[in-house]
Amino acid sequence: MAEPKGFTFPRTSTGRSSLVPSPPWHYSGDMLTIEYRTDPAAVAELLPAPLLPAEDDPGAVAVIWADWQSCSDDFNEVLDPDRLQYKECFVVVRCSYRGENYSRCVYIWVDKDYAMLRGHIQGYPKKMGDIWMTRPVTVGRAGPRLQPGGRFGATCSAYGRRLVEAEFTITGPSDHTGFVNALPMIHNRFLPAIEADGTDSLNELVTMRGYDAEVGPAFTGDVDLRVFGSPVEELDRLAPTEMIAGYWRSVGVSWNGGTTLEDLSAEDAPAKEGR
């Protein structure tokens, strides 16, 4: 009898039903990044030990909208665009680990199930949401051009409530797209123990970054961003106190694994052995 196989569940005799295919994964898309400052204490409360707030500009935050196409190494999704295209909105802060600075995603919403599970594998805290962002155009009048004066909007909602909305107006070219999301990512991959006793069967501190990155021209501009309350979301705790800038750029990158920095689930071992 054949052993069930597949990178993720459901595992079957062929592996074809796996929700997420094996890496490498390839991404191409447009990103709108809005940077601002908030109360540093609100960032610090989202950083579990052993992470520490960044020493420089500890209240800096980036909210990023991305309109992606992504595929596996055989590119089969390219001819099945329902499995190729998705959007997400994610919130990034910076932190320090053993004297090195990292970027960390603290909130993220996505509109496809495979992208959500793929993020969980990487340590992104993905939830389902409804994400929209204005697309630039090269013909016609039904959209902005990538030039000074081009105006973009972006929204993210979840459970029927608007969580955040932004406006971005291009003022000119840029040689970068900000500093908050410019470092290797550091995340926790965790899974609660089946005993539901407050311990984790999996809790790893991991880092990662992509490879074969390509970028298009970058643009900067004026921004406005508003966050709203929700019974089950806490983005309003990171409400802006000062806007920094906005950026738009097309990007491409591939991903094929990361590095485990610490196995934090080992801290639960004595408690589990005593059960």
Q: What is the pLDDT of residues 16-61, one digit of tens each?
A: 999 999 999 999 999 999 999 999 999 999 999 999 999 999 999 9
Closest residue by Cα to residue 114 from 251, 209, 21: 21
Give the mean pLDDT of the chain: 95
- pLDDT tier at 274 (50, 70, 90 boundaries)? very low
pLDDT at residue 267 in the model? 65
Query: Which residues, 6+ apart, have CB-to-CB distance to 83 below 8 Å?
Result: 77, 114
pLDDT above 70 covers a percentage of the chain that reads: 97
Enumerate the domain spans of the chain: 25-183+210-256
Per the confidence metrics, is the pTM higher than 0.85?
A: yes
DSSP characters over 55-124: SSSTTEEEEEEEEEEEEETT-GGGG-GGGTEEEEEEEEEEEEETTEEEEEEEEEEES-HHHHHHHHHHT-
- pLDDT tier at 273 (50, 70, 90 boundaries)? very low
> Is pLDDT above 80 for 270?
no
pLDDT at residue 268 in the model? 55
> Is pLDDT above 80 for 259?
yes
- Torsion-angle region of residue 14: left (phi > 0), alpha (psi -120 to 50) or beta? alpha
Q: What is the pLDDT of residues 121-162, one digit of tens each?
A: 999 999 999 999 999 999 999 999 999 999 999 999 999 999
The residue that leads in pLDDT, 59 or 3, is 59
**CATH top class, domain 25-183+210-256:** mainly beta
